[in-house]
Chains A and B, each alone.
Chain A
Amino acid sequence: GAGVSQSPSNKVTEKGKDVELRCDPISGHTALYWYRQSLGQGLEFLIYFQGNSAPDKSGLPSDRFSAERTGGSVSTLTIQRTQQEDSAVYLCASSLDHSGRGLKGDYGYTFGSGTRLTVV
């Protein structure tokens, strides 16, 4: 698509419930990232997918958080047994990404509008 699409834009859930957040990256972008922005805080890296490589999960805050990316395109971030401290805006981004030399092109990130998650 023309941009990074995230759904839902807003989600209110009860503490203890599971939620799924979806990200549809720009067509052709091989790299996909999830970030979290809590109220008044900076952006916190969660997880990164690059092609068929094993994802970099180093930013996931607990084992309640997981993410997958099917077919190298759409990604879902799942939070199990949500807690109030999970309330935040979850942002997805995609970019061109390659390894090797002689790279050309713009490897900037494009972000989606985010999903605002509120756990009550």
Chain B
Amino acid sequence: KQEVTQIPAALSVPEGENLVLNCSFTDSAIYNLQWFRQDPGKGLTSLLLIQSSQREQTSGRLNASLDKSSGRSTLYIAASQPGDSATYLCAVRMGTASKLTFGTGTRLQVTL
């Protein structure tokens, strides 16, 4: 059974800092991995999708890496801003016809 863990559970950083969020999964035979953000009381917004054959994806200040063999992904946020404050979730998909298994999330607060 796939298990997804995110560390840390919560993180507070001052504005401008670069930060790394971690995601680990127990079964490395994934199809893809997706990072989402969730704002309080809202749904999920997709940030980045990494296919199993890829090593990283970038979008603006965000960079996600994937190391399938070690069962890890990281989300790097450069020059953090207060608007980045949210819960960040990673989720893995095992096959083309498969549900997502979510991590428990990292709650990020970026302070002024």
**A interface list, Cβ under 8 A from B:** 6, 31, 33, 42-43, 45, 48, 50, 53, 56, 59, 91, 93, 97-100, 103, 106-114, 116
Asked whether, in the complex, the Cβ of A107 is within 8 Å of the Cβ of B32, the reply is yes
**Contact flag A111-B102 (CB < 8 Å), given A31-B97, A103-B96:** no
Q: Given A33-B99, A50-B97, is A109 in contact with B46 using a C-beta cutoff of 8 Å?
A: yes
B contact set with A: CB distance below 8 Å: 31-32, 34, 36, 41-46, 49, 89, 91, 93, 96-97, 99-105
Q: What total of A-B pairs shows CB separation below 8 Å?
A: 58
Docked pose: A2 CA to B90 CA in angstroms: 24
Q: Which of B45, B96, B102 has most A Cβ within 10 Å? A: B96
**Cα–Cα distance between A31 and B93 once the two chains are bound (Å):** 13
A106 to B32, CA, bound (A): 10
A111: contacting residue among B46, B93, B97, B104, CB under 8 A: B46
- When the two chains form their complex, are residues A91 and B43 in contact, meaning their CB atoms are under 8 A apart? yes
Which B residues are CB-close (under 8 A) to A103? 96
Q: Give the 10 A-B CB pairs with smallest separation, nearest first.
A: A108-B49, A111-B44, A113-B43, A43-B102, A114-B43, A111-B43, A45-B99, A42-B104, A108-B34, A48-B99
Query: Closest Cβ of chain A: how far from B6's Cβ, in Å?
Result: 10
User: Are A110's CB and B89's CB within 8 A?
Assistant: no
